[in-house]
Amino acid sequence: MSSPSEQTILVTGANGFIGGHVLQQALAKGYNVVAAVRTAKSASKFRPIFSSQESSGQLTWAYVPDITVVPDYASAFSAAEKPITGILHLASPFSLSVEDNKRDLLEPAVHGSLAILQAANKYATPALKRVVITSSFASNLDTTKGSRPGYTYTDADWNPQGWETADMDSSSAYCASKALAEKAAWDFIEEEKPGFDLVSINPPWVFGPHVDGVEDLAKLNQSSAALSQLLDAKAIPPVDFGGFVDARDIAAAHILALEKPEAGGNRFIVGSHFDYQSAADALRKEVPELRERIPEGTPGKLPEVYGMDGSRAERVLGIKYRTLGETMRDAFAEYVKVKPVAA
């Protein structure tokens, strides 16, 4: 395989929490990167951070206004000086308000998953060998089984729910949208047999530090917002999503999935167990000065909830997971800067 400096990769959703870490790591490895975002404003927070790479031509910004529309990708492919060799598709459709599950969640997820593959098939050259998509552990999780104590989810598990969730709660519909989107991607590969293969990365909660720091806890992404609620909480929150991965590790997993030939055609759960009691225990140990601001709960008492097996990602991709303690320490270092004292 040619060296990273001889390759050009397209990264969609490059302005996101994971996207920032992917940019940082891919550029550090020497890849030429076309970073796709919806608007010029979307790129503004990272442009100062990666200004030297942009000036040198290693990083190019491209604008894809609607990731569910195939022609919107044309400029991203034409922005590359050399043919794109790999795609990391981190972007997902979003809606500020979900009024109709089918229209606002399910259909956009499927259309967004298919559009990048259709665009790659249409605009990329034969130099493109692989597309890596960000799916979700929600695509593995069977929400109808509840907390399912004693069961361990693996890469082989699929969320069985689908279009019927249009008439259910938005949480079930969101999880189903991830499964439907991923299944649509695999079906496309099977039916169209393009000149590139596919890898799916399925993270649970993604925690950790932000490449651009944190300025306002009210503006955190969903996963970071869920975690930050531990700060000055009166009690340990119940389990909402029983797994986590560090943002730096999930970024590394995407890049390694592009690099490892044996990863092709596979889906990977990337992450390990998480619950808020364990997070509180880790924080109180790693950051003693925060003990007065983190609820104690019942130290060491784990809730009865399903497990997840992310070991195949370690074996095949070669990633090494950070500990919960390290992730909690680095994430809360940012939160405390914004909120140095209890409200």
Q: Which CATH number fits the domain that encloses residue 122?
A: 3.40.50.720
The residue type of 80 is A
Task: Flag whether 316 is in a domain.
Answer: yes
The whole-number average pLDDT for the span 57-81 is 97
Q: How would you label 129-165 residue by residue, b for 16+ Cβ within 10 Å and e otherwise?
A: bbbbbbbbbbbbbbbeeeebeeeebebebebebeeeb
Cα distances from 190 to residues 183, 184, 214, 261, in angstroms, run 11, 10, 42, 18
Query: Is position 147 within any domain?
Result: yes
High-pLDDT (> 90) share of the chain, %: 91
Element at 131 (helix H, strand E): strand 130-134
- Predicted confidence at residue 151, as pLDDT, reads 98
pLDDT of residue 94: 63
- Token look-up 């870490």 returns 21
Band of pLDDT at residue 284, cut at 50, 70 and 90: very high
pLDDT above 80 for 250? yes
93 pLDDT tier (thresholds 50, 70, 90): confident
Just list the catalytic residues. 178
In the predicted structure, residue 95 carries a pLDDT above the cut 70: no
Packing angle, helices 324-338 and 276-286, rounded to 10: 80
Radius of gyration of the chain (CA): 20
Q: Are strands 86-89 and 59-63 parallel, antiparallel or unpaired?
A: unpaired
Is 275 domain-assigned? yes
How is residue 217 written in tokens? 């806890």
Q: With beta carbons less than 8 A apart as the criterion, state whether 28 and 255 touch.
A: no
User: In the predicted model, what is the mean pLDDT of the chain?
Assistant: 96
Over residues 56-81, the mean pLDDT reads 97
**Domain around 43:** 4-338
Residue 343 covered by a domain:
no
Question: Is 8 a member of any domain?
Answer: yes
Does some domain include residue 328? yes
Inside any domain, residue 86: yes
Nearest by Cα to 212 from 24, 78, 74? 24
Could you tell me the sign of the dihedral formed by the alpha carbons of 92, 180, 310, 206, in that order? positive
Overall average pLDDT of the 35-61 stretch: 97
Task: Give pLDDT, residue 244.
Answer: 98
Task: Collapse the DSSP code of 34 into the 3-class scheme (helix H, G, I; strand E, B; otherwise coil) and give the result.
Answer: strand
pTM of the model: 0.96
Compute the distance between CA of residue 251 and CA of residue 249 in angstroms, rounded to an integer.
Answer: 5
Alpha helices (runs of H) in 161-235, residue ranges in sequence order: 170-192, 222-228
Indicate whether 168 pLDDT > 90: no
pLDDT of 96 reads 57
Domain count, the chain: 1
pLDDT at 1 (0 to 100): 65
Which pLDDT score, from 0 to 100, does residue 170 have? 85
pLDDT digits (tens, 9 = 90+) for 302-334: 999 999 999 999 999 999 999 999 999 999 999
Are the C-beta atoms of 342 and 293 separated by less than 8 Å? yes
Residue 171 confidence (pLDDT): 86
